[in-house]
């Protein structure tokens, strides 16, 4: 298959590209290198030393004798070039990861909010627009997020994208209908993924595009079978307050005996998936496209759920690092439950890597190994969801204070 | 009150600005004049001869001794200027009409789709973003559309924005919840109004902005009490295939004995409101803002529903013009029913102008009076919803052929 990976230089895009190339697909990475530019902006870098995209693909080609092409292009702003690329490469499938993907970054300032909305919306729309304009038959696999569901407990397991509901008729009787799960985004970033959902729904309906949306949990882990094949193929690992996801942050904190920073009470329950499973899921999605005329096919791409404070305890037990409770920079519920259906991927044969089996490895092989590269000043989360919250962010509170406040 | 009317030079913005100024409010029109530029692009003009915005407000000031200010500014691209304007004018309320508002124009080509998405999304987001950044307490009244609901019959009256549903718990019992009415847009334009809804919902939740969304039906009529006060204050009247709404098109067709162009079977049922009622509704919304912390307040801004072929018959009876059935350029149901709640505006005292009483006046005072300005070549609808539909658009079919095909 000819597969374009938009955002193929990023944290998921890179291992996904290698994984798909390794399966024998003809892969082109399309990327504007924005993730690396944001590292420059924030003055941070991946914990793992990553090579340039040009060097990465050269090494891959040498080792595996399979070529991956690279096209430096901005999906959100270079629509005409995108069309030319489609005509030239004639992809069967496109993986769409070309979006700003950090919630804290999206809330950093009004400039970051505007960038995230403008970039993410136009990237998705340009992709769909070009495919319709060229009358191309391309399956689009879009990376969404569990965050589109929000984390308010509806007393039921979160289904895969569509919620069966009963609606009252005018005579008072009920009728059943299945609706796109009501969006409840918790940040500007998550909001853009909700906007994406509606755009996908429209293009599936009006133009019969074949679209898959992967509602992904928080990804942990760094390496996949392919990225392990050479030190220069290593995947990026973010730990800073904006791009570092919760487990990565706990792991590097543990590696340098920095107190594990739990936000609020740590009562937030979230969904998780290992990067190796994430790229397997993408492969499964690629191989199981919807038919023309179908609504967007939605998979929940996660394998387990955990409460944040339980994860902190787990990492604390592994490492001996203490736990510290901080003001939550986010506006969100202090505590939530989360049950999620991930039937589709399990039924397609996914055999998940669990946190229990993988976490220690990640601590030793990644966090401790590269700990000399950690910049302690970049650890605190500094992007607040509102200006009022921002004023409180410097405080470190005890769990009792946080509970009292809540 | 200090009120900014973004898009205040347009079809609704102009009479709304005059109406609010006449109520004693301090009004600033902010507009990038895009509607006039699109007239140039399409080679069409308003049936009614409209003055420049500068001339319009000069006349208004001379007649009414009330100043309306004008700021030429692009909400979607000039964020920093928007912020400066907010700091300078310190509005209490902003009416947001600064969006590309024609469904056919939004479907014209990939360029028009991209423009509509980019312009409409960034305009709304810049507005909300600036208000949060400046910590301003501004009530935003956004013009949405009945089209966000879609026109599939759910067997129930369309409520005002929020739908009560029953959701199954994991144990099979049901619980009640009220959700944002599931979006089902019929065009790129309508889709952008659905994206707006989600952005409004996020900003109401995260930042406690005070937001009102008016889900407006198809507006008919041209003049309001204020625009009638001088010939140079006349409102625009669009009749071309892109910007002309169905009643305007029937009226000018009737005026020149051009067959009334019904798309498909004309079985589509739509909601309508007179422009005079539209500006009254905006006034009512301005005077009844939500509280901080409320979800977006949604009103259905329409006063009656009609089936398109019935409207064609009504205009045909008034004028003697024949009816002709054409291939529908839109991808939509041939026939639909529509029941809509508009309780809020009625309870606030709206006393609607009905089609029955106002239509003849519109035919005589507007369409026939200015018929010498009609360009017959611009009447056919030429923007198709898909390329396949586009290929059929030149055909004129009999109602029997259309029914057979349906």
Q: What value of ipTM does the predicted structure carry?
A: 0.95
Query: Do the beta carbons of residue A174 and residue A166 sit within 8 Å?
Result: yes
Mean pLDDT of B178-203: 97
**A305 part of the active site:** no
Of A114, A198, A206, the CB nearest to B125: A114
First vs last Cα of chain A: how many Å apart? 52
CA B277/CA B266 separation, integer angstroms: 25
Which of B180, B199, B206 is facing A385, going by the closest CB pair? B206
Burial pattern A35-67, b for ≥16 Cβ within 10 A else e, equals bbebbeebebbbbbebeebeebbebbeeebeee
B202 CB neighbours in chain A (<8 A) are 185, 188, 191
How many beta-carbon pairs under 8 angstroms link A with B?
A: 135
Say if residue A399's pLDDT is above 60: no
Helix axes A53-64, A13-22, angle to 10 degrees: 20
Select from B280, B341, B267 the least CA-distant residue to B307: B267
Over its C-alpha atoms, chain B yields an Rg (Å, rounded) of: 21
B206-to-A100, B89, B124, B129, B192 alpha-carbon distances in Å: 20, 25, 16, 12, 21
pLDDT number for residue B320:
94
Cα separation, B69 vs B8, whole angstroms: 10
In chain B, % of residues over pLDDT 90: 91
**C-alpha to C-alpha distance for A381 and B193, rounded to whole angstroms:** 34
Report the alpha-carbon distance of residue B33 to residue B105 in Å, rounded: 16
Q: How confident is the model at residue A156 (pLDDT cuts 50, 70, 90)?
A: confident
The H-assigned helical ranges of A163-294 are 188-207, 246-255, 275-287
Pairwise CA distance, residues A142 & A106, whole Å:
19
- Beta strands (DSSP E) in A229-371 are 260-263, 269-274, 297-301, 304-307, 323-326
Mutate which of A75, A111, A202 to disrupt the B interface (most B C-beta within 10 Å)?
A: A202
Instruction: Tell me the average pLDDT of chain A.
Output: 94
- Nearest residue on chain A to B209, alpha-carbon basis: A386
User: B169 to chain A: which residues are within 8 Å by CB?
Assistant: 155-156
Q: Tell me how many degrees the CA angle A248-A254-A259 measures, rounded to the nearest 5.
A: 105
Band (pLDDT 50/70/90 cuts) for residue B401 is low
Q: How far is CA A71 from CA A31, A78, A85, A304, B206, in A?
A: 7, 12, 9, 35, 38
Q: Which residue in B109, B137, B178, B182 has the most chain A C-beta atoms within 10 A of its own C-beta, making it the best mutation to test that interface? A: B182
pLDDT at A393 (0 to 100): 78
Catalytic center residues of B: 145, 189, 193
Q: Under a CB-based contact definition with an 8 Å cutoff, are residues B198 and A185 in contact?
A: yes
Give the closest of B179, B198, B339 to A194, CB-based: B198
Distance from CA of B249 to the nearest CA of A (A): 25
Show the tokens assigned to A115.
């960038």
Distance from the A65 Cα atom to the nearest Cα atom in chain B, whole angstroms? 39
Assessment of whether the complete model's pTM goes beyond 0.80: yes
- Residues A32, A34, A35, A39, Cα dihedral to 10°: 140
Distance from CA of B173 to the nearest CA of A (A): 10
Put simply, the answer to whether B206 touches A180 (Cβ < 8 Å) is no
- Region B390-401: mean pLDDT is 65
Helix (H, G, I), strand (E, B) or coil at B25: coil
Q: CA-to-CA distance for B288 and B211, rounded, in angstroms?
A: 11
Instruction: Decide the pairing of beta strands A210-216 and A297-301.
Output: parallel
How confident is the model over A248-302, as pLDDT tens digits? Answer: 999 999 999 999 999 999 999 999 999 999 999 999 999 999 999 999 999 999 9
Three-class secondary structure of residue A375 per DSSP: coil
Which one-letter DSSP state was computed for residue B218?
Answer: E
More confident call, A40 vs B153: A40
Per-residue pLDDT reduced to its tens digit, B308-360? 999 999 999 999 999 999 999 999 999 999 999 999 999 999 999 999 989 98
Tell me the per-residue pLDDT of A95-137, one tens digit each, with 9 for 90 and over. 999 999 999 999 999 999 999 999 999 999 999 999 999 999 9
């Amino acid at each position: 298959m000819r597969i374009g990976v938009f955002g193929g230089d990023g944290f998921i895009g890179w291992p996904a590209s290698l994984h798909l190339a390794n399966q024998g697909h003809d892969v082109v990475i399309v990327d504007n290198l924005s993730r690396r530019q944001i590292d420059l902006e924030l003055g941070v870098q991946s914990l793992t030393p990553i090579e340039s995209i040009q060097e990465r693909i050269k090494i891959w080609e040498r080792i595996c004798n399979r070529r991956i092409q690279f096209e430096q292009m901005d999906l959100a702003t270079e629509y005409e070039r995108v069309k030319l690329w489609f005509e030239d490469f004639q992809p069967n499938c496109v993986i769409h990861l070309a979006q700003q993907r950090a919630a804290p970054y999206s809330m950093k300032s009004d400039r970051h909010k505007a960038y995230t909305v403008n970039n993410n919306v136009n990237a998705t729309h340009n992709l769909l627009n070009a495919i319709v304009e060229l009358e191309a038959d391309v399956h689009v696999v879009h990376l969404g997020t569990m965050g589109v569901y929000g984390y308010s407990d509806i007393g039921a397991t979160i289904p895969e994208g569509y919620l069966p509901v009963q609606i009252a008729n005018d005579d008072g009787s009920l009728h059943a209908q299945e609706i796109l799960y009501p969006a409840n985004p918790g940040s500007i970033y998550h909001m853009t993924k909700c906007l994406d959902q509606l755009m996908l729904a429209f293009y599936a309906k009006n133009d019969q595009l074949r679209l898959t949306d992967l509602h992904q949990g928080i990804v942990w882990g760094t390496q996949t079978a392919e990225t392990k094949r050479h030190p220069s193929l290593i995947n990026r690992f973010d730990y800073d307050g904006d791009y570092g996801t919760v487990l990565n942050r706990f792991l590097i904190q543990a590696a340098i005996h920095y107190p594990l920073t739990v936000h609020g009470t740590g009562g937030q329950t979230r969904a998780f998936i290992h990067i190796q499973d994430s790229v397997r899921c993408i492969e499964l999605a690629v191989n199981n496209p919807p038919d023309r005329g179908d609504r967007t096919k939605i998979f929940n791409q996660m394998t387990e759920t955990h409460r944040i404070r339980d994860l902190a305890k787990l990492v604390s037990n592994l490492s001996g690092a203490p736990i510290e409770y901080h003001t939550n920079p986010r506006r969100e519920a202090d505590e939530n439950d989360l049950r999620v259906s991930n039937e589709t991927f399990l039924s397609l044969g996914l055999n998940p890597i669990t946190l229990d089996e993988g976490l220690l490895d990640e601590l030793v092989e990644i966090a401790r190994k590269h700990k000399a590269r950690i910049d302690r000043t970049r650890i605190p989360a500094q992007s607040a969801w509102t200006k009022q919250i921002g004023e409180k962010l410097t405080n470190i509170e005890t769990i009792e204070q946080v509970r009292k406040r809540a």
